Structure 1
Amino acid sequence: MGDSGGGRPVATLPKAHLHLHFTGSMRHGTLLELAERDGILLPDALVEDWPPQLSAADEKGWFRFQRLYDVARSVLRTEDDVRRLVREAAEDDVADGGRWLEIQVDPSGYAARFGGITAFTDLVLDAVRDASARTGLGMAVVIAANRTRHPLDARTLARLAAQYVGRGVVGFGLSNDERRGTTTEFAPAFRIAERAGLMLAPHGGELLGPEHVRTCLDALGADRLGHGVRVAEDPALLDRVVASGVPLEVCPVSNVALGVYSDLTSVPLPSLLEAGATVALGADDPLLFGSRLAGQYATMRAAHDLDDCTLAELARMSVRASRAPDGLKAEVLRDVDAWLAESPV
C-alpha cells in the first residue's frame, strides 16, 4: 500500500462530501458579485472582514451567524443564480478531490422567490443534474427541515422529499440551532421520510452534547448524524453509535468557528476514530467558515498529526457512509487505494 507517512496531497485524495449546506456552499466572490449586481449592501463581516468572526456559544452569536446566512441567501434572485451556485459548488468539490456530493437544502427558505417549495426543488434537482453532467461529480440532494419553524412545516417537507425518492433526493435532515425547538416534535416528519426509504440525517451533537445525540437516535431514528462530534463526551453512547454503524458528519473548521472547541487540536477526531466510529469530514458552510472540503482533511492532518493511511480511511468512510450508487462507491474506493499506493511527496 506504500508508505503511510504524510505528504500526499489531500486535494487529490478521492472522497465524498456529506455535509454541505446550499447557500453556505456559495463562493465568496460570487456573493460579492451578485450583491453588487442588485445593489445589496453586505455587512462588513461578509466583505472586508471575511471570513467572519463567529461564535454560537450564546444566542446572540447564533443570531449573528443566522443573519449573515440570511443575507447571503438574499442574493440568489434568479434561476441562473441557483444554477451557478450548484455548478460552482460541484467545481469546488472536484478541485478538492470530491467524487460524490450530497448537498443539503431547505426549500422553504427559497419558496417565496422561486414559486413555492416544489418549483424550487425541481429547479435545484435540475441544476444538480446539469452540474453533475458538466463536472463529472456524482451528486444528490438532502432536503432538510428547519427546527426553528413549526414541526408541521417539517412534515410538509418530508412529504415533498418522499415525492423525489429515486429522482435525486436521498435523505431528509433537520438543521439550524439545535438548542431551539423540541426535537421529539419532529419525529412524525422523520417517520414520513423513513417510510419513503429516505436516509435520516438530523443535526445533533454539536451545539448540544451527547444527550441530544441520544434523542436524535431514539426519537428520530437517525441513520447518520449531522455533526455528532460531541458523542465523544459519553463513551457508552459512543459505543452504541459505533455498534449501530451510525456515521458522523464531522465539520472541524465550523466546530471551532462556532466556539464548540477552542482550536482544531481540541476537535476529538482521534477519540472517535480510536473508538471505531465512522467519520465523514464535511465543510458545512464554506461561505461563512472560509474552508472547503480538502481544508477539513488538511487541518485535521496538521492538528492531530494524521498519517496518510488515516486520511485514506477517512475518505473511505465518507464514501461508505454516502448514498452513492454501489458502482461509484467501488470505483472511488479503488482510487483511494491508488492514492495511498503513490509515493509520498
Structure 2
Amino acid sequence: MSLFARGRPAAPFPLAELHCHVEGTLQPGFARELAARQGVDLSGFADEATYRWEGFSGFLAAYDRAAALLRTEDDYRRLAFDYLTGLAAQGAIYSELTISPDHAAASGLSPETYLGALARGAAEAERETDIVCRFLVVGVRHLGTDAVEAAARFAARAPGVTGFGLAGDERLYRPRDFEKAFRIAAEAGLGLTAHAGEFAGPAAVAETLDALNVSRIGHGVRAVEDAALLARLREEGVTLEVCPLSNLALGVAPDAANHPLARLRQAGLRLTVNSDDPPFFGSDLTAEYRFAAEAGFEPAERLALTRNAIEAAFVEEPVRKRLSELLTMRALALGAPGSSL
C-alpha cells in the first residue's frame, strides 16, 4: 500500500523542511556512544542535548568535530534513520537532507558509500513512518572551487540526488567563483540553492542570484536590509530557507523580537522554516514552526510555510503532487482537538 493511502492517524501539524545538514543532526547521545567506541573524550563538548561552541567559526569547528565521529556505513544509515523517524514523529511529511561528500571523505568513506548508507536509512524511515526524503549534495565553499566542483560532479552522477547547493563560510570567495560547479549541476537537471545573506549582507544574495541561477536561497534573512532586493526576490519567486533558531544562536539576529521573519512575510516573500543543525542550536523543526507562531504567523500562514516547502522541493513531480494532496488532507483535519501547533 502506498505512503499516501495507509490511513495512519494525522500528525498534529504537517511540517516540511528544505534546509538541514545531515551531519548536523547527530544527537549528543549518539555522539557520546560513537566517542566511547572510538576512545574519544567529549567532555566539555557534548552536553546532554547540545554541543558547546562559541561564534560562527567555533560552530564550524564543532560541526566538523562531531561529524568526524561518523566513520562507518552503519553510522550514517542510523543517522538518517534516527533523524527522519524523529522528524516524522513531529508531523513532518517531507525532508530534504543536505549531504557533504567532503565530510564523507574526512571520515574515510567514498561519496558513493556514504550516499548509499544514508539512502538505506532514509528508505527504512520511509517504510516505518511514511516520511519522504530527498538528498541535496552541498559543496563547502571554504574548501575552495576545486572541492565544490568535485561535489557538483558527484551530485550530477549520483542516484537519488535531486539538488545541489553551496554551504560553508559565506565570508570566503564570491558567488561567481562557483559558476562552473553550478553549471555542472544545472546541466544534470538538479535543483539549485546556495547559502547567502546570513553573515554576508544583502549584496551577497543579489550576487548569488546573478551568478548561480538558484531557485532558493539558504537563510537569506539579510535581504530584509535592501528594499530593491526584497522586490526582486518577490518578483522572481525565490524561496528562502529561513532557519530562525540557527540565526539566533549564531547572532545573525540579536533576539527573537528582532528576527526578520515577520518582516520578510510582510514583504510578500516565499518563506520556509528549517532546523539547519538541530542539536547544535537546541532546536528541532517543531520549535522552528513555534517560533513562526510566536512571530505572528497564524495557522493558515504556518500551513503556507509547509506548502511553500513542498512547492520548492527538489523532488519528482508525481511525488510533489502526492505530498500536496497529503498536506491538504492534513490541513482539513486540523480542526480536531489537540491538532494545533
Q: Identify whether the pair has TM-score above 0.5, normalized to the shorter chain.
A: yes
Shift of 1:16: 1.4
Match in the other structure for 2:311? 320
CA contact (8 A) 1:161 1:172 kept: yes
CA distance in 1, matches of 2:48, 2:323: 41
1:111 paired residue number: 105
Of 177, 185, 188 in structure 2, the residue corresponding to residue 196 of structure 1 is 188
1:125 and 1:259, CA in 2 relative to 1: closer, same or farther beyond 3 A? Answer: same
The whole-number CA distance in structure 2 between the counterparts of 1:160 and 1:263 is 39
CA distance in 2, matches of 1:335, 1:93: 19
Give the secondary-structure state (helix, strand or coil) at the position aligned to 1:19: strand
**Alignment check: 8 A CA contact 2:71 2:109 kept:** no
1:70-85 aligned within 5 A: 70-85=64-79
Deviations along 1:33-75, whole A, 9 cap, x unmatched?
2222222111514226945364xxxxxx222111211111121
Question: Do structure 1's residue 249 and structure 2's residue 241 form an aligned pair?
Answer: yes
Q: CA deviation at 1:338?
A: 1.5
Task: Give the C-alpha shift of residue 305 in structure 1.
Answer: 3.3
C-alpha contact (below 8 Å) 2:93/2:323 kept by paired residues:
no
Distance, in Å, in 2 between the alignment partners of 1:204 and 1:185 is: 14
CA shift in 2, pair 1:130/1:155, >3 Å = same
Deviation per CA, 1:8-45, whole angstroms, max 9, x where unpaired? xxx72112110100111122221122222222111514
Structure 1 residues 314-336: Cα deviation after superposition (integer angstroms, max 9, x where no partner): 22222222134233232233134
Q: Does 1:224 align with 2:216?
A: yes
Change in CA separation of 1:45 and 1:262 when aligned onto 2, cut-off 3 Å: farther
The one-letter code matched in structure 1 to 2:310 is V
Task: Letter of the 1:52 partner, please give it.
Answer: R
The answer to whether the 8 Å contact 1:31/1:75 transfers is yes
After superposition, give the CA deviation of every residue in 1:114-138 in whole Å (9 maximum; x if it has no partner).
4422332233233322332233110
What is the match of residue 19 of structure 2? 19
SS at match of 2:134: strand
1:288-299 to structure 2, matched below 5 A, reads: 288-299=280-291
- Distance in 1 between residues matched to 2:22 and 2:34, nearest whole Å: 16
Following superposition, the deviation at residue 272 of structure 1 comes to 1.1
Using structure 2 for the length normalisation, give the TM-score: 0.90
AA of the residue aligned to 2:97? I
* Among 192, 205, 208, the residue aligned to 1:213: 205
Seq. identity, %: 36
Residue 102 of structure 1 pairs with residue 96 of structure 2: yes
Q: CA RMSD in A?
A: 1.9
Q: Look up the equivalent residue of 2:331 and give its one-letter code.
A: D
The residue aligned with 1:174 is 166
Task: Give, in angstroms, the shift of residue 307 of structure 1.
Answer: 2.1
* Structure 1 unaligned spans of 5+: 1-10, 55-60
Structure 1 SS opposite 2:105: coil
- 1:40 — aligned with what? 40
Unaligned regions of 5+ residues in structure 2, if any? 1-10
TM-fit CA distance, 1:257: 0.3
What letter is aligned with 2:52?
A: P
What is the CA-CA distance between 1:155 and the residue it aligns to? Answer: 1.3
**Between 254-263 and 27-36, the greater mean CA deviation after superposition:** 27-36
Distance 1:327 1:252 in 2: 28
2:327 matched residue in structure 1: 333
Deviation at 1:179, TM superposition (A): 0.5
1:103-160 CA distances to partner (integer Å, 9 max, x unpaired)?
Answer: 0011121124344223322332333223322331101100000001121221111111
Is contact 2:152-2:164 (8 Å) kept? yes
| Contact 1:279-1:317 within 8 A present in 2 as well | yes
The residue aligned with 1:275 is 267
| TM-score, with structure 1 as normaliser | 0.89
Paired amino acid for 2:166: L
1: distance between equivalents of 2:322 and 2:150? 32
Show CA shifts across 1:290-324 (max 9, x none). Answer: 1011110112212x233222222222222222134
SS at match of 1:63: helix
Structure 2 partner of 1:140: 134
Q: Offset of 1:276 from its aligned partner?
A: 1.4
Q: Larger relative contact order (C-alpha < 8 A, sep ≥ 6)?
A: 1
| Aligned partners of 1:132 and 1:138 also within 8 Å | yes
Distance in 2 (CA, whole Å) between partners of 1:53 and 1:39 is 21
Q: Specify the alignment match of 1:66 in structure 2.
A: 60
* CA deviation after TM superposition for structure 1 residue 217, in Å: 0.3
Q: How many aligned positions are there?
A: 326
Q: Which amino acid aligns with 1:261?
A: A
